[in-house]
Structure 1
Amino acid sequence: MAVSSKFICLLGLFVVVVVNVAMLERVDGAGECGKSSPDDEAMKLAPCATAAQDEKAAVSDSCCSQVKRIGQNPACLCAVLLSNTAKASGIKPQIAITIPKRCNIPNRPVGYKCGAYTLP
């Protein structure tokens, strides 16, 4: 009886260790935006709020700077523009997706598909 209870305890400990390791890898793993979440990156686009709601609004230098940084990874840029934070902020993806062009960002990912939208 004592051997089987030790075995069960060891097995339980093993399961806990495996689950913890799996959770650490999931937390530290890279997503579309590396170790940062699209929602966290979306918060950095606060200077773009007006430009992402009105295509006639001027795009600030600080907005262009952030979009240029995030846009180096098109998958991240798409994830940010389609994130829950962006939606909650009133961002209109069909307008926000035009910001890289409006900023005259060279080497932007023209034609990259972001869900139902395509980067111009």
Structure 2
Amino acid sequence: MELPTKFLCLVGLLVLLSITNVESAGECGKSTTPDNEAIKLAPCATAAQDEKAAVSQSCCAQVKKFGQNPACLCAVLLSDTAKAAGVNPEIAITIPKRCNFADRPVGYKCGPYTLP
């Protein structure tokens, strides 16, 4: 029951950001923001809160897209939207490893965290 509430909060925040039309050239490009991109990680909600939770294929697929740009991946995982959804950044940064990505950005500094 808690997950749908968090998801609705994410959607609400996304709508609010869309209404304000925030546009800037940031880590994820100039047509989007990390907060807007964070909504795409909804399939990762459980895996980003519990390091023992299984990581779904849909979560791995989304993280793989972000993994092409480690700066964007970090910005998304540390975004206000992710925090509002209850994402634990220390656990979330382990998702690329838990998805068994051979080409993950090992050692990349993600704020105060380092990607394993």
Q: TM-score, normalised by structure 1?
A: 0.76
1:32 aligns with 2:14: no
Q: 2:47 is matched with which residue?
A: 51
Find runs of 4+ consecutive structure 1 residues off by over 2 angstroms.
none
1:30 to partner: Cα distance:
2.8
Partners in 1 of 2:66 and 2:48 — Cα distance? 15
Identity %: 78
Q: Deviations over 1:20-47 (max 9, x none)?
A: xxxxxx93x5310012100011000000
| CA deviation string 1:78-104 (max 9, x = no partner) | 000000000000000000000000001
* Map of 1:67 onto structure 2: 63
Match of 1:116 among 104, 112, 116: 112
Aligned to 2:103: 107
Aligned residues: 94
Q: 2:77 maps to what in 1?
A: 81
What is the rounded CA distance, in whole Å, between the counterparts of 1:31 and 1:106 in structure 2? 26
CA shift for structure 1 position 106: 2.0
CA–CA distance in structure 2, aligned partners of residues 113 and 51 of structure 1: 20
| AA at the equivalent of 1:103 | C
| Residue identity matched to 1:69 | K
Larger Rg: 1
How far off its partner does 1:112 sit? 0.2
Whole-angstrom CA distance in 1 between matches of 2:113 and 2:62: 20
What letter is aligned with 2:27? E
Give me the TM-score of the superposition, normalised by structure 2: 0.78
